[in-house]
Amino acid sequence: MNRSTRQYPSLSSKNPQVSLRGAGQSPNSTAEWTVMVYMAGNNLENYAIQDFLELAAAGSDSKVNIVVQLDRSTGNTSAYGNWTDTRRGLVRADNTPNANWGTSIGEANMGNANTLKGFVDWSTSTYKAERYALVMWGHGDGFNVSYDDVTDDGITSSELSRALSGLSTPVDVVGADACLMGMTEFAHQISNNASVFVGSQELEPAKGWNYTPILKDLKANPEMTATQLGSSIVTRYGQTYPKGNETLSAINLSALRSSNSSSLTNAISHFATTLMSNTTTGYDLSTLDLWRDRYANDFGEVDKAYANNFCDVGKLFTGFVNNSGISTPLRTAAQTVLESYRSAITQTILQRVVAAQAYRFTFPIEVLVAFRATTAVTTAS
């Protein structure tokens, strides 16, 4: 069991077998922050309850609202009344997740975009604030997050983007307390609908984020900016797992928007265009292949056919540009990617320094195979 169980039963994160992962605001008044936590119903239920208690250890106050939608299912734990529907509400100091907490909305499919949108709409209209944060909790696979075990359904990046796009007030911080969600593509999909994204490109421990110190930081300084809250989440994560193999990073989403001419997204697109041009040499492709293979699978023994498509952006392009002999146009394009990438990351912790820098992107080996074939045909002609 892990935070990526749906597709990848060999992954070991959010995995209990290896021990990986007060007074509130009156409705319709305006707080400084409303923090929304979307807890999908799956085999991490024991940890959902622990995280709820961490939220309650901080508790809402007049400046910070903590709201949760918690889905439970049968067969995981009988704690706190063994209820199995979906409930949502404000988390006050020392609340417990029993059947008397919050309001039942029946059995909801947490992997459905309309369910997510309903929670966000309810939260932002009932507990108004100057700024909003949304945490997607549960299993992740790099492309989808918050899987519901009952329906085998998860939230895609486009579904998350649609849920956020219709809000009258934009969400400031989006976080993924889940495995493998530190993906450039995922962050890009929501870049027009939030300011900061926090995610891990590696496997997360089963216990996940430590919510109590994060929220106490926010309550102590409720005028935090989105960047400051993202940094607090990352810093507290590093303090929680000082000796593990964890990574967590906060990224400035404005640096991924296509409308930003110097964005990381545009830099990667330009690199891809340059790679496909007739200036690319066989040595370029061999060198890129070398670094792609070296940094494509940093998180251990997993489904390699899948994991080898995930490449660490910083490590890949750093290794590539430092090789002598690659063509000037491609080196220049790769250097631009690195510069854009480094400027996008606002905070990161790397307990496993050799493995990763901050964010990955998808770079299938089939792409290089196709490029090699094209280059061979062009050379022969």
The token pair at 344 is: 């996008």
- Domain residue ranges of the chain, discontinuous segments joined by +: 30-256, 264-380
Task: Give the DSSP letter of residue 260.
Answer: S
Measured CA to CA, the distance from residue 124 to residue 127 in angstroms comes to: 5
pLDDT at 27: 58
pLDDT digits (tens, 9 = 90+) for 29-63: 799 999 999 999 889 999 999 999 999 999 999 99
pLDDT digits (tens, 9 = 90+) for 55-83: 999 999 999 999 999 999 888 899 999 99
pLDDT digits (tens, 9 = 90+) for 204-249: 998 999 999 999 999 999 999 999 999 999 999 999 998 877 889 9
Q: What is the mean pLDDT of residues 295-307?
A: 54
Among the listed residues 57, 49, 53, 43, the one whose alpha carbon sits nearest the alpha carbon of residue 14: 43
pLDDT at 181: 92
The count of C-alpha atoms lying within 13 angstroms of the C-alpha of 380, restricted to the half-sphere facing its C-beta, is: 6
Residue type, 226: A
| Strand-strand pairing, 144-148 and 153-156 | antiparallel
The answer, yes or no, to whether residue 368 has pLDDT greater than 90, is: no
Among the listed residues 184, 179, 87, 89, the one whose alpha carbon sits nearest the alpha carbon of residue 127: 89
Residues 247, 199: contact at Cβ < 8 Å? no
Residue type, 128: K
Measured CA to CA, the distance from residue 334 to residue 275 in angstroms comes to: 10
Query: What SS3 state is found at 34?
Result: strand
CA 184 to chain CA centroid, nearest Å: 10
Measured CA to CA, the distance from residue 40 to residue 68 in angstroms comes to: 11
| Strand-strand pairing, 86-90 and 103-104 | antiparallel
Q: What is the mean pLDDT of residues 180-208?
A: 92
Residues 6 or more apart in contact with residue 135 via CB below 8 angstroms:
35, 36, 37, 38, 174, 175, 176, 177, 209
Residues 147, 111: contact at Cβ < 8 Å? yes
Among the listed residues 237, 219, 228, the one whose alpha carbon sits nearest the alpha carbon of residue 34: 219
Measured CA to CA, the distance from residue 103 to residue 69 in angstroms comes to: 9
pLDDT at 25: 56
Overall CATH class of domain 30-256: alpha beta
Measured CA to CA, the distance from residue 375 to residue 381 in angstroms comes to: 10
Of 92-101, 102-111, 327-336, 352-361, the poorest mean pLDDT is in 352-361
* φ, ψ dihedrals at 77, nearest 5°: -150, 145
Measured CA to CA, the distance from residue 348 to residue 182 in angstroms comes to: 11
Confidence of residue 312 (pLDDT cuts 50, 70, 90): confident
The answer, yes or no, to whether residue 307 has pLDDT greater than 70, is: no
Measured CA to CA, the distance from residue 101 to residue 99 in angstroms comes to: 6
The answer, yes or no, to whether residue 380 has pLDDT greater than 60, is: no
